[in-house]
A and B are shown apart, each in its own frame.
Chain A
Amino acid sequence: MAQVVLEEVNKEYGSVRAVVDVNLTVADGEFVVLVGPSGCGKSTTLRMVAGLEEITRGLIRIGERVVNRLPPKDRDIAMVFQNYALYQHMTVYDNLAFGLRNRKVREADIKTEVMRAAAVLGIEQLLSRKPRELSGGQQQRVALGRCVVRHPQVFLFDEPLSNLDAKLRAQMRIELKRLRERVATTSIYVTHDQVEAMTLGDRVVVMLDGRIQQVATPLEIYNRPRNRFVAGFIGAPAMNFLSVELQNIDDHLHAVAENFRIRVPQDRVSELACQRARAVVLGVRPEHVLMGEPRPEHGTGFDANVEVTEQLGAELLVAVRAGGTTVLASRVDAEATLALHQPLRLSLDPRGLHFFDRESGEAIR
């Protein structure tokens, strides 16, 4: 096991900057998830760590070694690919043994290792089959086995679950967590799925346009997003954004919109003070959009019309239209019955307010 350090890593394809000044330290044994929309440079970053892409500028260290010029085979890493990338002409056993044979391990030891990895992943009965005879989930397990069997310093995962259907994906997510407990190897995991990012990562790295937007634990990313992009990207349904102005009303700082106002909690006042009388963006997650009038000291609620409802069983997602074009989503008790265009009175939970600069999108802290 080893730590992985990326220092000022850049990747350019001609004039296109795919990865820009990435700095990241993945601690020994840590599981870090790179997440972002397609084309954000997360896979390119991973492939640079793997050695499958050259690094235009910057430094990558695995353990104590700078690996910039090392070919993938000498980096002591293992990688799981989106489409499994199993060797189609070999049996599962040979797939698992391939990496060990390349390292000239004795055949008897290979057998022990393969059996051990197969037991960990529950694929013992598949060892004599060819990859094409396996289901997607089984293939993915074999791909994981191919990594586990080698005891590498670092695991790299390139969207390993995105080819699986939703149910299997949830199941494999749990298996990955279980695998982590048994094999605590430093891991970098790339995904575009924010649920995977939230559930799997010790820390999450959100990327956009080749740049890191925020590195933090899943909860911190969720609760304290550093900018508007991170706030909107992490969390489903996504955060609502409203244009508000910060004003002093009765000696208290309020966020004021056309149709409602809400008092800023006392602990946030100092960080927002310098933004007074300026238009800012208020972000509020659906679970912080509440039904009913707020307590009077918290401000006023607003009228809205139900536009769409999505019944999820445990809860009901409601999209409403309020004050012109603003669309808000809200989570409601599943038992609630809401008719289309039904008028509602809604309010915002003052504990769930996020403020962003209108121009830069940076969180105001």
Chain B
Amino acid sequence: MTALCTTRSDRPYCWTDALAPGGRRAFFWLATIAIVLLFLGPIVILVVTSLRPGWAVFYIYRGTDFTLQNYRDVLATEAVIHAFVNSFLVATLATIVSIGVTVSSGYMLSRFRGPIPRAWFGTIYVFRTVPYISWVLPLYLVCYHLGIYDTYAGILLPHIAVHICFFSWIMKGFFDGIDPSMEYAALVDGCTRWGAFLRVALPSAIPAIAALGILSWLYTWNEFLFALILTGHNTALITVTMAQFVTELGTAWNLMSAMAVMAMGPAIIITLFAQKYVVRGLRI
């Protein structure tokens, strides 16, 4: 905050100071445009590809043939609808369950000392350190032997586990940033430990929880590896279904793009609505 208020002479020297004031502004605009193009470019190509007929996808910068037929075709495919429903359900359920666990486990890691929090911390640490591609095959075997392969449980449980391992740490950080004396005040004011958590700590953490919810939802929505190995026909998710447009006869780029654009939709909507929370939550 203070950095914004200080006068120019107070801030440390930056190499752009060598430029004239106008030049500096121009430089920042150019840099901004370059960065935006870098991120927007692939999306633009994707959207344009999704609007081109199949024969024109390799020449998207030429010709004026545009069509919505790709979207119609994709939406007419039952597997695609199925995948969207699956992905939505899996992402939402995994988020709801994992937030419940993440918030309480993050709170425990932040506020309590002793053997149980230490053991829990160690477990999470180990799982975070192991590259997660190395869990996939063991998880497949576990799911297979438990008889939950290609069921919702079979994809939900691993996702919830990943969420908990990754996001408990972030949640711990949020709670570390919230002054515990508020909870002490609540204890003195007549709350139990549990009551102080639910009625005082939790409401203060809502922006953080919202941010985390969005992050975990998007994580599962976008996830590919687990979806590829741990799901079959019954619980196919969008990322895997999208990849199935790559066939022996070639890749249906136009259809794949149309589906990809649709898959971006919910993510964009959620991000736009929740941006405020994400920014505030991550700032705590």
Q: Which residues of A contact B (CB under 8 A)?
A: 50-52, 71-73, 75, 77-79, 81-83, 85-89, 98-99, 102-103, 146, 150, 156
Contacts and interface: CB of A to CB of B under 8 A. Distances in A.
Contacts of B186: 87, 98
A85 B204 CA distance: 12
B187 A85 contact: no
Interface of B: 179, 181-182, 184-193, 195, 200, 203-204, 206
A72 B187 contact: yes
B204 A78 contact: no
A50 B188 contact: yes
Given A73-B187, A98-B186, A102-B191, A89 B204 contact: yes
Contacts of A77: 188
B179 A99 contact: no
B181 A82 contact: yes
Contacts of B179: 83, 85
A73 B182 contact: no
Contacts of B188: 50-52, 72-73, 75, 77-79, 156
A99 B193 CA distance: 14
Contacts of B190: 73, 99, 102-103
A108 to B, nearest CB: 19
Contacts of B192: 71, 73
A81 B204 contact: no
B181 A83 contact: yes
A98 B189 contact: yes
A79 B189 CA distance: 8
Contact of B200 (A82, A87, A103): A87
Nearest to A156: B188
A268 B186 CA distance: 53
26 contacts: A50-B184, A51-B187, A71-B193, A72-B184, A72-B187, A73-B189, A73-B191, A75-B188, A81-B184, A83-B179, A83-B181, A85-B181, A85-B182, A87-B182, A87-B185, A87-B186, A87-B200, A89-B203, A89-B206, A99-B189, A102-B189, A102-B195, A103-B190, A146-B185, A146-B189, A150-B189
A104 B239 CA distance: 53
B193 to A, nearest CB: 8
A168 B185 CA distance: 23
Nearest to B202: A89
B191 A85 contact: no
B204 A88 contact: yes
Contacts of B181: 81-83, 85
A156 B188 CA distance: 10
B194 to A, nearest CB: 11
A72 to B, nearest CB: 4
A186 to B, nearest CB: 15
A93 B86 CA distance: 46
B114 to A, nearest CB: 12
A321 B265 CA distance: 79
Nearest to A152: B188
Nearest to B181: A85
B46 to A, nearest CB: 42
A51 B185 CA distance: 11
Contacts of A88: 182, 204
B181 to A, nearest CB: 4
Contacts of B195: 102
Contacts of B187: 51-52, 71-73
A73 to B, nearest CB: 5
Among A71, A72, A83, A99, chain B packs the most CB atoms within 10 A around the CB of: A72
Given A81-B184, A82-B181, A85-B185, 12 more contacts: A50-B184, A50-B188, A51-B187, A51-B188, A72-B187, A77-B188, A83-B179, A87-B186, A88-B204, A98-B189, A99-B190, A102-B190
B200 A52 contact: no
A311 to B, nearest CB: 33
B191 A79 contact: no
A50 B185 CA distance: 10
B55 to A, nearest CB: 59
B203 A85 contact: no
A99 B206 CA distance: 22
B204 A79 contact: no
A206 B204 CA distance: 37
